[in-house]
């Protein structure tokens, strides 16, 4: 199976997809899209990614966008990290939706602010801090009682949420006392094929 990932290296959602491909040992090539130069808004790219966002995955002549949807597709196509049955798959989608609402927006925005490539009004930062901290606390509560988010083995729910949680400190969130989250991250990082953010994306094509 040949995959092409259209992404920008600093994209957190793109890391989620790259990590999934690495953990599945699925070879892929990278086409870099420079958001600073508005390459994601060109007519050519919009034909691939209808919302003009990265990541975008190409596979067998089809293009897929939005990282949670891409993860869901890869789990089905590669038959890995997909959950044991329809009950687990439904609970996986719950975590994917929860992340989009409660975790990703707040941690990714504050990471961007702290690294200097985003700006935010102080009121927005305050909301991010409050909501992000609440989300991490809820995640910790879940992981204090189970090794993985769904069932007895890792799924795309873990890969998706890890793709955000691992940047918590960069985003200004303190993980001290969140032992469930920290232990869970270490478990995922010990999986065969794991690559950190800095090396998950290969050289660009």
User: What's the CA gap between 24 and 17, in Å, rounded?
Assistant: 11
Structure token digits, residue 146: 């189970």
Provide the 10 A C-beta neighbour count for residue 73: 17
Residue 1 is predicted with a pLDDT of 60
Question: Please, which pLDDT band fits residue 117 given cuts at 50, 70 and 90?
Answer: confident
CATH architecture group of domain 86-189: Up-down Bundle (1.20)
Domain range list for the chain = 3-78, 86-189
Helices (H), strands (E): how many in the chain? Answer: 8, 4
In order of 93, 102, 129, the CA distances from 136 in angstroms are 18, 9, 11
CATH of domain 3-78: 3.40.30.10
Q: pLDDT of 185-204, one tens digit each? A: 999 999 999 999 999 999 87
Q: pLDDT digits over 122-140, tens only?
A: 999 999 999 999 999 999 9
Q: For the chain, give the mean pLDDT.
A: 95
Helix (H) or strand (E) run with residue 6 in it: strand 3-7
pLDDT of residue 205: 65
pTM value is 0.95
Conformational region of residue 25, where left means phi above 0, alpha means psi within -120 to 50, and beta covers everything else:
left
Lookup: tokens for 177: 């006392």
- Give the pLDDT confidence of 63-77 residue by residue, as tens digits: 999 999 999 999 999
Same fold, 3-78 and 86-189: no
């Amino acid at each position: 199976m040949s995959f092409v990932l259209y992404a920008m290296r600093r994209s957190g959602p793109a890391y989620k997809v790259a990590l999934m491909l690495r953990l599945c040992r699925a070879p892929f090539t990278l086409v870099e899209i420079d958001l600073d130069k508005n390459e994601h808004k060109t007519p050519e790219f919009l034909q691939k990614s209808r919302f003009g966002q990265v990541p975008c995955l190409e596979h067998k002549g089809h293009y897929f966008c939005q990282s949670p949807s891409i993860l869901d597709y890869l789990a089905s196509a590669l038959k890995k990290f997909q959950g044991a049955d329809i009950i687990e798959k439904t609970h996986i989608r719950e975590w994917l939706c929860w992340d989009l609402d409660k975790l990703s927006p707040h941690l990714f925005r504050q990471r961007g602010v702290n690294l200097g490539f985003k700006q935010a009004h102080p009121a927005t930062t305050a909301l991010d801090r409050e909501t992000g901290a609440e989300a991490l606390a809820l995640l910790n509560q879940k992981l204090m009682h189970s090794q993985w988010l769904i069932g007895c083995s890792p799924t795309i729910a873990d890969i998706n949420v890890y793709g955000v949680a691992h940047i918590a400190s960069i985003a200004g969130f303190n993980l001290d006392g969140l032992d469930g989250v920290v232990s869970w991250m270490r478990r995922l990082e010990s999986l065969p094929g794991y690559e950190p953010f800095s090396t998950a994306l290969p050289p660009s094509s």
